[in-house]
Structure 1
Amino acid sequence: MKRNFLKYIVAVSILLSASACHDKLDLVPLNDVTSDVVYQTVGGYKQSLAKVYGSMAMGGGKGISDDTGADIKGIDQGASDFLRLYFNLQEVASDNAICAWVQDPGVSEINNLTWSSNNVILLGMYARSMYQITVANDFIRESADEKLAARGIVGEDADAVRAFRAEARFLRAFQYWVMMDLFGNPPFVTEENAIGKTPPTQISRGELFQYVESELLAVQEELVAPRQNEYGRADQAAAWMLLSKLYLNAEVYTGTGRYADALTYASRVINSAYTLKTNYAHLFLADNNIGQDEVILSINYDAIRTQNFGGTTFLVNSSSGAGMDMAALGIPRGGWGGNRSRRTLPAKFSDPSGRTDRRAMFFGENPAISDPSIFQQGLAVTKFKNIDRAGQAAPSNDGTQVSIDFPLMRLADAYLIYAEAVLRGGGGNMGEAINYVNEVRRRAYGNDSGNVSSIDLNFILDERAREFYWEGYRRTDLIRFGRYTGNAYSWPFKGGTAAGTSIPEFRSIYPLPASDVIANPNLTQNPGY
């Protein structure tokens, strides 16, 4: 698979290891080989920017199945990848997925929504996002105008680095959005803070909302135009997409709805250069980098150059197991027998076979689960496949690693955000909202047979489940619709019972890791934990 930016990610894999954090969450990049060497030319800055992107795609710089060279010490780097952790907290901790690895630390608590502040998966996610924020801060600090002038980087070269800096600010804003959504009131550090001198201060969810908003508004004009950047890098549409997601959830984050703003920025994405990919399944194959028409921002993976037991390697292998055709999934030696759907996910489709709505990609006959540890209970999800459009397996070094890029943001979300914003009183046009929904459904059905003539919020929530399952949206969606906590909606093993039960409101955000609250006197634990 051809990746213009990938060569830079490969080149800085050693830097990722050199910058690995140690036993603290006030993360400090070790600049042994950065400031005096890397930040001397535009090419050096681009290498370092690749480190900011690469920290989302890799767990570290050495090894892939232990913590040797891992960014986050004490956590197997195969389990400390951003996407693997995010999937656990957004999909497994919802009505979509459940994991059979109940003997692994933290898994049963996530399955059952009964986690504590000592949960290792929560610690991993918290540390991963804080690490990525720290790496972005370092780049932003080193690319300030005074630094460029001191290094003799002027003119067009300086302009190029300033554009890189806007991307780093966007990536930092994205991670702070993740922290705000998951943890509510996290520690807060920027390039202005002295590294490692004092423990980070805590920021409230409302204040962090304002910060993320201000950063995205500031960088939107500094980023390159939609679809004009290298594949896998942020452009203006990425900033608009994140703003629309931020505003859509503003009532959850701040208590005040911003649905008109969500509609405004979703419209900007819709009217940009992106278009829906004709074939839904092609979004999740090993050659999904071809075309680049719908995916606004991706996390890029390559089975040969950037090996990782997280990422999409985790998605494909953890979602397959005994009795399935591994060759057809492009992983002839894979299949870890972990995640599969709770019965509530295939039930969102009128026909889970995929014969009508082609988004339904399941394997198995038994959607019900009585024992979470048995992978064959529940329908397996075959949405992500390490094959190309011709059905050929992508190269893999060991028969398990995959080369599927993960669609972190895509145009279909803007269509459904527009429709939801209209329904929530954000203005816009109902006819246009229905048309956008039908654009998504026509792609799914291959014709007009799935078209609808009216929509309501319940329909939108279910449509989002059908369109975005296994992509890390579900927990956030359920919270926004008031279906996550309480007893308004239950699913199997919610609250730890087979039938599902009510959970308290405080579980709408995760606890800060107990170890960091103890270590940092500036932090106050979230209520309920």
Structure 2
Amino acid sequence: MKKLIITITIIIFSACTDISVDPPSFGDDETTVFGDFDGYQAYIAKVYASLTLTGQQGAAGQPDLTVINDEGFSSYLRVWWKAQELTTDEAIIAWQDAGIRDLHNHAWSSDNQFVRVLYYRIFYTISLANDFIRVSENLPEGLTNDEIAEIDRFVAEARFIRAFAYWHALDHFKNVILITSITSDLPSQEEPSDIFDFLITELDEIEDDLFSAGQGNHPYGRLDQGAVWMLKAKLYLNSEVYTGISRYSDAIAEANKVISSGVYSIHDTYQELFMGDNHLRTNEIIWPIVHDGLVSQTWGGTTTIIRGGIGGAMMDDLQGGVDFPDEALQEYGVPSGWEGYRTTSALVEKFPNAATDPNGNSPDGRAIFFTEGQSLEIDNVAEFEDGYAVPKFNNIESTTGQRAPGVDQVSTDYPVFRLSEAYLILAEAELQVNGSISASTLLFLNELRQRAYGDNSGDIAISDVTLDWILDERARELYLEATRRTDLVRHGKFTGGDYIWPWKGGVQEGVSTSSHLNIFPIPASDLIANPKLEQNEGY
């Protein structure tokens, strides 16, 4: 069994659907719950767990949120991933739940249930973090100095998770409220630049209070300085989108902190970063969202990412016409798939030869496609076999070849930040500042290419590196890692007609879409609950 960051003792919260009210309360028992160190440890575990778990009772039961009928749909990672992937060329889904097709079709409204649950899940996590910070302000007597120091670190971690969630609020909704303390007053929206400045200030203030960089240097899954540097690098890279002011030089500085820290290195085998024992890949993974199929079960998180992308011949118990019992279990580490998402030809074509080879093979080993029984082109969105499957993530342990712990849920962690993205941020920011990349940055890019190709046949030259090349290389390296929508928005290709992919706008060949879709609408339910809020333009 994989050890989680902290033993999770569940504290019961009431479900919350209105972010303008107080967060869940411990009521009269609060002084008892926080009478010793264990209460604080349990609560920070809940703050971490809010990024993937959905309630208080295993994979389902006593949900945190009641704004959606299926509790599994309310997983933070699940809704964030959908917003970043199903709206782009990297994923399209066969399911017909109300509103889910609207994501790829660029046809969502303020009543879309997936937009709504993303918004409320973000602010639920913010509320938990705010409340943890509050209860940590007046510590009980009897704590040891070591316990007090650990709680202080917990506070810094809660502040990071709050900043992480506020980054998603800024990135997806832009015009949002800023609440850092518990209040019953109805809040007003802040300027996006003020949210941005708050995030940078927060991250600067907590950096020295977190563990030193390197997941191998502290309890696994805990936040550290490397995560701060990566989040700041991503904020600065997207600053012009958020504030109208470019901060590429600052992005360079933060990416260089990661790279020069000396604690990270590129892992030899790409797919091992996304397998059931990827908790061993602390050389490259800077911060993961931890999953364990035995003790932290969820129908969201990586369970959805893995099982949602399996179907058709991937689980027909045949290989090459020969019986192959329990195929999904043996090949992907799960009992079955959910026949959900596939990718579009636009992603496949970014890998040399992948679109023309019958098996989707490419000299670029990052092209992890399943093609048996699948067509490259998508004629019917509802048919899983239309579009190549993308089993980049699986629940098999690379060290044993066996499934990772769990029955219906998985133990594959979600790599939020990786060293490879620091390389790509550095290259893009240098290109924006200087018009080209440095020789040292070229070495970093070719390090990624050499892992992908197995030799130097995929190496590129400085003159090859353009903004379009960077955008495509980010797709090749980071597909299905919840970066694509943000990347396309930053490059001016998410909406409009500069870049078209299959079924963009709900049309098979793809169409131009309106620029107001670069951000999501404030949910109609929150506008009703708080008359101070104004809807984003175009909705």
Taking structure 1 as the reference length, the TM-score comes to 0.93
Alpha-carbon distance, 1:357 to partner: 1.2
Deviations 1:391-439 (A, max 9, x none): 2112322xx3211001011111100000001100169961122111111
CA distance in 1, matches of 2:287, 2:19: 27
SS of the residue 2:288 aligns to: strand
Residue number in structure 2 paired with 1:518: 528
SS of the residue 2:279 aligns to: coil
CA distance in 2, matches of 1:426, 1:164: 40
Residue number in structure 2 paired with 1:470: 480
Q: Which amino acid aligns with 1:169?
A: R
Query: Alignment identity in percent?
Result: 40
Which residue of the other structure, out of 79, 104, 110, is the alignment partner of 1:85? Answer: 79
Q: Tell whether the 8 Å contact from 1:319 to 1:337 is kept in structure 2 after alignment.
A: yes
Which residue of the other structure, out of 191, 208, 212, is the alignment partner of 1:225? Answer: 212
Which residue of the other structure, out of 168, 171, 175, is the alignment partner of 1:178? Answer: 168
SS of the residue 1:421 aligns to: helix
Q: Which amino acid aligns with 1:518?
A: I
Q: Tell whether the 8 Å contact from 2:334 to 2:395 is kept in structure 1 after alignment.
A: no
Tell which deviates more after alignment, 352-361 or 444-453.
352-361
CA distance in 2, matches of 1:293, 1:39: 36
Q: Which amino acid aligns with 1:321?
A: G
Q: Tell whether the 8 Å contact from 2:285 to 2:419 is kept in structure 1 after alignment.
A: yes
CA distance in 2, matches of 1:133, 1:383: 30
SS of the residue 1:140 aligns to: helix
Q: In 2 relative to 1, CA 220–306 (structure 1 residues): closer, same or farther, beyond 3 Å?
A: same
Q: Tell whether the 8 Å contact from 1:309 to 1:401 is kept in structure 2 after alignment.
A: yes
Matches within 5 A, 1:369-380: 369-380=378-389
CA distance in 1, matches of 2:82, 2:481: 11
Q: How many aligned positions are there?
A: 512
Residue number in structure 2 paired with 1:215: 202
Residue number in structure 2 paired with 1:363: 370
CA distance in 1, matches of 2:31, 2:389: 50
Q: In 2 relative to 1, CA 137–34 (structure 1 residues): closer, same or farther, beyond 3 Å?
A: farther
Q: Which amino acid aligns with 1:305?
A: V
Deviations 1:157-198 (A, max 9, x none): 32221111111101100000010000001222112x42xx22
Tell which deviates more after alignment, 24-33 or 211-220.
24-33
Alpha-carbon distance, 1:355 to partner: 4.7
Q: Which amino acid aligns with 2:289?
A: I
SS of the residue 1:289 aligns to: helix
CA distance in 2, matches of 1:395, 1:221: 35
Residue number in structure 2 paired with 1:64: 59
**C-alpha RMSD of the superposition:** 1.7
Residue number in structure 2 paired with 1:41: 36
Taking structure 2 as the reference length, the TM-score comes to 0.92
SS of the residue 2:302 aligns to: helix
Alpha-carbon distance, 1:21 to partner: 2.4
CA distance in 2, matches of 1:252, 1:328: 44
Q: Which amino acid aligns with 2:379?
A: S
CA distance in 2, matches of 1:320, 1:423: 38
Give the gaps of 5 or more residues in structure 2: 315-326, 355-359
Verify: 1:268 aligned to 2:257, yes or no: yes
Q: In 2 relative to 1, CA 508–4 (structure 1 residues): closer, same or farther, beyond 3 Å?
A: closer
Residue number in structure 2 paired with 1:5: 5
Residue number in structure 1 paired with 2:459: 451
Q: Tell whether the 8 Å contact from 2:56 to 2:62 is kept in structure 1 after alignment.
A: yes
CA distance in 2, matches of 1:118, 1:451: 47
Residue number in structure 2 paired with 1:141: 134
Which residue of the other structure, out of 424, 445, 461, is the alignment partner of 2:432? Answer: 424
Q: Which amino acid aligns with 1:263?
A: I
SS of the residue 1:298 aligns to: strand
Which residue of the other structure, out of 349, 352, 357, is the alignment partner of 1:350? Answer: 352
Which residue of the other structure, out of 316, 336, 339, is the alignment partner of 2:338? Answer: 336
CA distance in 2, matches of 1:318, 1:516: 30
Give the gaps of 5 or more residues in structure 1: none
CA distance in 1, matches of 2:303, 2:195: 32
Q: In 2 relative to 1, CA 4–21 (structure 1 residues): closer, same or farther, beyond 3 Å?
A: closer
SS of the residue 1:408 aligns to: strand
Which residue of the other structure, out of 9, 13, 17, is the alignment partner of 1:19? Answer: 13
CA distance in 1, matches of 2:14, 2:218: 28
Matches within 5 A, 1:99-118: 99-101=93-95, 103-118=96-111
SS of the residue 2:208 aligns to: coil
CA distance in 1, matches of 2:266, 2:425: 15
CA distance in 2, matches of 1:34, 1:219: 30
Residue number in structure 2 paired with 1:299: 289
Residue number in structure 1 paired with 2:495: 485
